[in-house]
């Protein structure tokens, strides 16, 4: 791919949004032993763009061997963290829930 095309992919689309300054970190937890294809796609596609658009945002992915429910946790500076289950959700649905909490 050419550099221009790569940059266009990173700078457009769903993951290329600026999050609120109140968001301190994002943690995605999914097990190696569960089928969470929506969460895995969100990890590969959207989280990479979010990291590019928000270089100071701390993004952590927990990938334990033991089975657990996939979840996404958003930590805020002044309020309690918001966590929600992403089991059975498509990556677009996960992104919409993330954007509604993190960009407002």
Q: What is the pLDDT of residues 46-57, one digit of tens each?
A: 888 888 889 999
pLDDT in tens, 25-82: 999 999 877 778 888 889 888 888 888 889 999 999 998 888 888 999 999 998 889 9
At the fourth CATH level, which superfamily is domain 3-102? Glutaredoxin (3.40.30.10)
From 102, 103, 104, 97, select the one nearest 26 (Cα to Cα).
Answer: 102
Average pLDDT of the residues in 12-19: 78
Q: Does residue 104 carry a pLDDT above 70? A: no
Query: Is 74 or 103 the better-scoring residue by pLDDT?
Result: 74
Instruction: Give pLDDT, residue 57.
Output: 92
Q: Which residues pair with 48 in a beta bridge?
A: none
How far apart are the C-alpha atoms of 14 and 74, rounded to whole Å?
A: 17
């Amino acid at each position: 791919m050419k550099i221009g095309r790569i940059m266009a992919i990173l700078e457009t689309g769903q993951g290329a949004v600026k999050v609120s300054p109140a968001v301190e970190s994002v943690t995605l937890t999914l097990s190696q032993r569960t089928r969470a294809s929506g969460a895995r796609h969100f990890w590969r596609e959207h989280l990479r763009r979010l990291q590019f658009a928000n270089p100071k945002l701390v993004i952590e992915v927990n990938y334990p061997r033991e089975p657990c429910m996939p979840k996404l946790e958003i930590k805020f500076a002044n309020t309690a963290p918001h966590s929600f289950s992403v089991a059975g959700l498509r990556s677009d649905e996960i992104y919409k829930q993330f954007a509604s909490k993190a960009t407002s």
